[in-house]
Structures are given as structure tokens and as C-alpha cells.
């Protein structure tokens, strides 16, 4: 049986399998069709219906279940919903267990949440360092380009204020007002 | 809580059980595979996962025999939320008697459309893993309760009849 306990392991293995069998297009379709439109349809419907309060309900519940040690922080106002991951439960599982079958596991988050939030009328600012730390800001589409300064939304909980957060942007995957997992900033 | 260092599970987490909502993703993955690659593609995915991703477990089984199989399944289902399972050790086989399948139970509770072939995944995956460990595997029942049998080759189990595996119903 495929279980839930080591889900992140076989989920990551699956990305690599799809990539080998059908290339990058099949991986993208998997994230959008199977995860966004099927598995996470409850999140999709909630966020399309309620916007930022729906994001709070969805991620507040899901992250607490996946990360009871609270390796994350949620901040929200009327205009922005932000998550800082200081210890991503999913990436952490892979790192602790030495699992790697796909070149960038972290891309899957933008792979399904990007299209989901786009369909709800939101865009995403995001950076991840591939080591279990990342941040996300979701705002209404049409918001001007660019990232908010570190600390301006989440205060001291902003992951970019960590001493180990890379100073070199080349060590990060970065997105601004994006919905497409391939829309990484150069 | 960390899993013990000598856990029979090859991949360990910091929490004692998985999140049941992940069964939604497993069900959706099967639907996607069946639609895009057909039954043969889905079966190939499961067999390759069985030989690849689960290789550390297969090695444990190969080295430890049926007692290792029993230890693994007890630990596996202890980490699956909502599972009600008995693992019975007999001289030539281990029976994993699933009285309440945690995945089917959660998918039904969430009112999800369950892929009809869902229960067959345990056979395609399990038999690939058993074969890699020098064992045989059979499955009967399904749609919420079933019995997985892992046996030594000399147990002489009858060939698997796929009709013995029930279609999963929402």
C-alpha cells in the first residue's frame, strides 16, 4: 500500500518518474490536473470563494497537521497572505532521509498553488533556498511588480532575516507576481 | 516525536503518523496516471516504485524473511491514521488482515470519487516488492477491507486472480 506517513518520499519519486516517462510537460500537468484540480479541490474551492480568509483556513489547518512543530509562520492582512517556512516539513523529510529522484522538489509548490491562485485572481511572490526555507506572499493580481522589503510583512519571523538565508540571489529560486512554476526570475 | 533508530520503516518522520489528506493525492495520482497512460502505464509506475523507491524495504525482507515482513507491516499501519489491521504470522506466510483500510475510509469521509482500480494498486505494488525479496504476494477483498498474503515460494499459493480484488467504491 502507498501510505500517508512517507507521502513526501513517494510523491517526490513520482515527479522523477513522470519526468522520465513524459518530460517536463507531464510533470507540470500532474501538478495542475492531479494536485490542484483533483487532490486539493477543497483548497481551490475555498480560496476561490473566500480569498485571503480562505487561504488562512486552508493553510492554517494543513500546515498545523503536516508540521505540528510549527516550522512555519503565517501573517495576513486584508491585502496579503504570507507564509514563512523556517523548517519545511516536506523538504525536511526528504533531506533527513536522503531522498532525491527529481531535480527540484520545491518546484511542486508553485506547480499547483500557482495555477490555483491564478484561477482565484491572485499572484505570488516567492523565494526558496532548496534547504527547507522559503517565503510566500499572495496578493490580488494587478499588484505592482517587485518584492516587499524583508520584515515589512512578517516582522522578525521573515525567513529572509535568518543569518543563514543566502545573500546571493543566484542561490535562490525567485518569483515575482507569478503563477507559473517555470516563471523563475533570472 | 522521532521514529526509533531501529524502525522497520526505511524512511522516518518527526511525527508519529501521516496526514490522512495525503490519501486524496494518492487517489488523484492514480486517476491522472490511468487517464494519461492507461492501466498498463499505471501498473508500470507501481511496479517500478515497488522495485525502486521501496528497495530498502525489499532488502530488509530479503535478509530478514517473513519476520521482517511482519515487523514492517505492523510499523507501517501504526503510522497510517485510522488503520485497523491485524498482522498474523504463520510458518510459511504473513497475512496482513486489513479490517479498516485507512485510505478508503478517509476518501469516503471526504466524499471523494475513488478510482475503481484503487485496491489493485496494493497488488501491483506489493507483488513487485515481494518478488524483489524472493517472496510471493496475493491479495483478496478490497473496497475497505482485504487480506494481503506474503509467502515463501514453497507455500504454493494459487496464482493471483484479479477478480478476487474488489472494485473500490466511493
CB contact under 8 A, A10 and B49: yes
What residues in A contact B52, CB-CB < 8 Å?
A: 13, 101
Is A126 within 8 Å of A137 (Cβ atoms)? yes
Residues from B in contact with A at Cβ < 8 Å: 9-15, 17-29, 31-32, 36-37, 41, 45, 48-49, 52-53, 76, 79-81, 101-103, 110, 121-122, 125-126
- pLDDT class of A68 with cuts at 50, 70, 90: low
The answer as to whether A183 is a domain residue is no
Q: A123: domain range? A: 7-178
Phi/psi class of residue A146: alpha, beta or left (left: φ > 0; alpha: ψ in -120 to 50)? Answer: left
State the Cα–Cα distance between residues A170 and A179, nearest whole angstrom: 21
- Residue A186 inside a domain? The answer is no
Q: What is the mean pLDDT of residues A103-108?
A: 96
Q: Is A156 on the interface with B (CB under 8 A)?
A: no
Classify residue A1: in a domain, yes or no: no
Task: Write down the pLDDT at residue A120.
Answer: 98
Inside any domain, residue A122: yes
Tens digits of per-residue pLDDT, B83-136?
A: 999 999 999 999 999 999 999 999 999 999 999 999 999 999 999 999 999 999
Say yes or no: ipTM exceeds 0.90: yes
User: Is the pLDDT assigned to residue B1 strictly greater than 60?
Assistant: no
The CATH number for A156's domain is 3.30.1380
Q: DSSP state, B165? A: B
Domain count, chain A: 1
Mutation target vs B (from A4, A37, A58, A70; most B CBs, 10 A cutoff) = A4
pTM of the model: 0.95
Residue A125 maps to a domain: yes
Q: Which of A1, A7, A99 lies at the smallest CB-CB distance from B22?
A: A7
Residue ranges of domains in chain B, CATH in brackets: 22-164 (3.30.1380.20)
Q: Evaluate whether residue A2 is within a structural domain.
A: no
Residue B5 above 90 pLDDT? Answer: no
- CA R_g for chain A: 16
Outline where DSSP puts E strands in chain A. Answer: 72-76, 81-85, 122-128, 134-140, 173-178
Q: In the structure, what pLDDT confidence band is assigned to residue A70 with cuts at 50, 70 and 90?
A: confident
Beta bridge partners of A84: A73, A135
pLDDT digits (tens, 9 = 90+) for A46-58: 999 999 999 999 9
Amino acid at each position: 500500500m502507498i501510505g500517508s506517513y512517507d507521502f513526501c518520499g513517494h510523491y517526490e519519486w513520482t515527479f522523477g518518474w513522470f519526468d522520465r516517462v513524459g518530460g517536463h510537460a507531464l510533470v507540470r500537468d500532474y501538478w495542475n490536473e492531479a494536485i490542484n484540480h483533483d487532490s486539493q479541490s477543497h483548497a481551490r474551492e475555498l480560496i476561490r470563494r473566500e480569498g485571503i480568509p480562505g487561504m488562512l483556513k486552508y493553510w492554517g489547518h494543513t500546515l498545523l497537521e503536516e508540521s505540528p512543530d510549527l516550522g512555519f509562520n503565517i501573517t495576513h492582512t486584508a491585502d496579503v497572505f504570507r507564509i514563512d517556512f523556517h523548517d519545511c516539513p516536506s523538504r525536511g523529510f526528504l533531506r533527513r532521509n536522503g531522498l532525491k529522484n527529481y531535480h527540484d522538489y520545491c518546484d511542486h509548490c508553485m506547480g499547483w498553488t500557482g495555477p490555483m491562485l491564478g484561477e482565484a485572481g491572485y499572484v505570488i511572490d516567492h523565494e526558496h533556498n532548496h534547504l527547507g526555507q522559503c517565503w510566500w506572499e499572495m496578493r490580488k493580481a494587478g499588484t505592482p511588480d517587485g518584492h516587499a522589503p524583508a520584515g515589512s510583512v512578517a516582522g522578525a519571523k521573515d525567513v529572509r532575516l535568518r543569518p543563514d538565508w543566502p545573500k546571493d540571489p543566484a542561490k535562490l529560486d525567485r518569483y515575482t507576481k507569478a503563477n507559473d512554476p517555470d516563471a523563475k526570475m533570472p | 516525536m522521532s521514529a526509533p533508530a531501529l524502525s522497520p520503516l526505511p524512511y522516518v518522520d518527526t511525527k508519529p503518523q501521516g496526514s490522512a489528506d495525503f490519501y486524496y493525492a494518492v487517489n488523484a495520482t492514480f486517476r491522472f496516471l490511468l487517464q494519461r497512460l492507461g492501466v498498463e502505464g499505471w501498473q508500470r509506475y507501481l511496479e517500478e516504485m515497488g522495485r525502486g523507491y521501496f528497495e530498502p524495504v525489499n532488502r530488509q525482507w530479503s535478509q530478514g524473511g517473513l519476520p521482517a515482513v511482519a515487523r514492517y507491516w505492523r510499523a507501517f499501519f501504526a503510522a497510517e491514521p485510522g488503520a485497523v489491521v491485524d498482522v498474523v504470522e504463520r510458518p510459511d506466510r504473513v497475512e496482513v488482515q486489513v479490517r479498516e483500510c485507512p485510505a478508503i475510509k478517509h476518501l469516503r469521509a471526504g466524499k471523494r470519487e475513488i478510482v475503481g482500480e484503487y485496491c489493485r494498486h496494493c497488488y501491483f505494488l506489493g507483488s513487485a516488492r515481494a518478488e524483489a525479496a524472493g517472496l510471493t504476494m496475493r491479495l483478496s477483498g478490497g473496497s475497505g477491507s482485504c487480506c494481503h498474503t506474503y509467502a515463501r515460494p514453497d507455500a504454493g499459493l494459487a496464482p493471483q486472480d484479479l477478480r478476487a480484488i474488489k472494485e473500490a467504491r466511493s
